[in-house]
Each structure stands twice: as structure tokens, then as C-alpha cells.
Amino acid sequence: MANVRLLDIKKSFATLQVLHGISLDIQSGEFISLLGASGCGKTTLLRIVAGLESVSSGGVEIDGRSVTNLPPEKRDIAMMFQSYALLPHLSVYENVRFPLRMRHIGSRDEQDAHVKAALETVQLGHLAERRPRQLSGGQQQRVALARAIVSKPKVLLLDEPLSNLDARLREDMQVELIEIHKRLGLTTLFVTHDQEEALSLSDRIVLLNAGRIEQQGTPDDIYARPATGFASNFIGSANLVPAQIIDTPGGPAGKLADGQLLPLPASETTRGEANLALRQEDIALAAVNTDGTLKADLRTRVFLGARNRYVLSLAGTTIRALTANDVLIEDGAPVRISIAPERIRVIKG
């Protein structure tokens, strides 16, 4: 366990700058997600913490000691790769023992105990003698996780470890990661492009966009109060609808491009041009015209099993709505939508 400090890290590949000064304080035992779309620099940042990539400027500190110029093998870290990177010529047991061997941790008997404990943690004790190729993707993933935690590293780095698993296994592994993190309390940096994963696993989410920190905060915080249009769109995939915020007799409201008025909470202070962030799950659909509802055009309905996703056109902007599947509207029918004012976030600019 250790705290990690990133000090104004900048990174360029040739003429392309991928990180524009990232500073971050990570508390000992904290689980942090680096969340962002592909190309945002999140994996580069993780590789810099691992020492696999050098910085152009800035530095990395682990437990107050600068490791900026230390190669990965000299840093007390462990990293789990997207491809798992298991050594194909070694058994599961030897793969998990590898970091202990390389770092000369413990006697042979102690190593044996550590390896067995790590394999038990990921419930793979019975497959110790298998080769990686003889395992399923989910099992290989568990071996990689066991190998990453066996040496009790100061910092655990996870590079999209769940992205190659199918949906069901991914949910299982999420639970497992949460439990292992609770038990071992390892300082963990988790790279993902999946907002749900970040929301369910992290103590804190760091949202990256084009090499800069867009927003950071607890999952609750970042979900409830996205600071920017990018954040609200990326987390919770909110719809962004441009509007003019004006005062009406009933309080502030958003005037959409087609003149329809969307009531906002009385506490809203922004006026003028803004974007309204409307979460998919907050949009209620109705077939009949009632007070306070807006007119929209139904374009497509996507059946998702437990829910329906409707693609609508609202004042010329395409928006999506997620509803329980008891709401059923025929294609091409007129649609009315409504949103509770307190669920709407106004994002300036």
C-alpha cells in the first residue's frame, strides 16, 4: 500500500502531445479509475506509472519517493495487461510465482504459500498445473489477477482487464475485483473506457479527455454533477440539447430551438446559451398530450430485453430515452416526453 503522486505529467510521441499536464494525488489503498475514450491518454498515463513509458516532463512519486527515472523492474508495482500476457511456457503455478522469483521475495516455501493463497483468492487452486493455453479466457484473466496481487505490490495497475470478457463474466469479475480490493487494500489504478465499470468499482473516477483531466470525483458525485458537456455525455451517456435559458412566470426554463419550453428547477441561476443534459433514463415517454410535456418525433425503437431504447428527435436534436418495456409506442406515432426539472443539468457554453 502506498500513495502515488503524479506531478504535472506531459507526454509527447514525436510531434503528437498525448498528455497535457496531469497532476493527481492517489491515497494509499484508493481504487481510482482512469476513464476515457480510446486515444484520451489513459493507457499512456498508466504505462508511465508502470515505468514502461517515459515522461516528456513531470514526475511520478510512490510513497513520497520519486520513481520517474526508475525502470519498471525496480518499481514496486504490478500490472495486469489487456492481453493478460501470461507466459505460455510456464504452468499457472509458475506464472503466479514468477514475480516472487524475479523479485526474490521469500524462501521457496514462503513463495509456495503466497502462490497458493493467490490462486485460492481467484478460485483457481485446482488448475495450478495447467498451461495458460488450456484455460478459458475468464480463467486466464484470473491467473493474471493472481499474478498481479501475489507480490502485494505497492501499486496495482489494471489496463482494461475486463474488456476481453463476455458480459456475464465481466460482472462476476467486477464483484471479485471489489472484494479483492476490500480485502487487500491495494492502491489501484484501473484504466477503462466503460463508464459503468468505473462507476461500480472506483473510490474515485478520473475522467480524461484528449490528454487532460476533464473531471474527477466519487462515482456518486461525478454521476450526479457532471461538470462539462463531455462529462455528462460520457458518464451516463446523457443527451445534450442546446437551449436558451430564460425566465418565465413559472420560473427558469430552457427554450429549445423549436420554441418549446422545458421547465428547470427554480434554483437554476444560469441564463442564456447553454446545453441541457438529459439522462436517457430520466426521460419519460407518453402517447398522450398532457401538461408540461414536449413534442418529439419517434425515429426508432431498440428492444433491449428488460428495457426499450427510443431514438427520438427533439427540436432537431437526436436524443435517446431508456424506458421500462411496459411503455409501448408504435413507430411513427406522435410522442410526448417529460423530464422532472430537478433531473436536468444545465451546462454552460
Partner 1 sequence: MVRAVPTPLRILAIVFVILTGLILLAPLIVVVGVSVSENQFIAFPPQGFSFKWYEKVLASPEYLSAGATSLQIALLVTLSATVIGGAAAIALHRRQLPFSDILATFFLSPLVLPTIIYAIGMLMFWSAAFGPVSTFTLWIGHTVIALPYVVRTTLAVLAESDPFLEEAARTMGAGRIQRLFHVVVPQCIPGLAAGAFFAFNISFDEAVLSLFLRKPGLTTLPVQIYGQLEFSPDPSVAAVSSIMIALTIVLIVIIDRMLGLSRFAST
Binding residues (CB under 8 A) for partner 1: these are 50-52, 71-73, 77-79, 81, 83, 85, 87-89, 98-99, 102-103, 131, 133, 147, 151, 157
Is 82 or 270 the residue whose CB approaches partner 1 more closely? 82
Tell me if 157 sits within 8 A of 49, measured CB to CB. Answer: yes
Contacting residues for 246 by C-beta, under 8 A, at least 6 apart: 252, 253, 254, 255, 271
CB of 70 to partner 1, least distance (A): 11
Distance CA 335, CA 97 (A): 61
- Dihedral sign of CA atoms 287, 293, 299, 305 in order: negative
Contacting residues for 163 by C-beta, under 8 A, at least 6 apart: 82, 192, 193, 194
CB of 148 to partner 1, least distance (A): 9
CB of 105 to partner 1, least distance (A): 9
Is 87 or 328 the residue whose CB approaches partner 1 more closely? 87
Distance CA 241, CA 278 (A): 8
CB of 86 to partner 1, least distance (A): 8
CB of 89 to partner 1, least distance (A): 4
Distance CA 176, CA 142 (A): 10
Is 81 or 184 the residue whose CB approaches partner 1 more closely? 81
Is 131 or 343 the residue whose CB approaches partner 1 more closely? 131
CA angle 21, 23, 28 (to 5 degrees): 155
Is 104 or 168 the residue whose CB approaches partner 1 more closely? 104
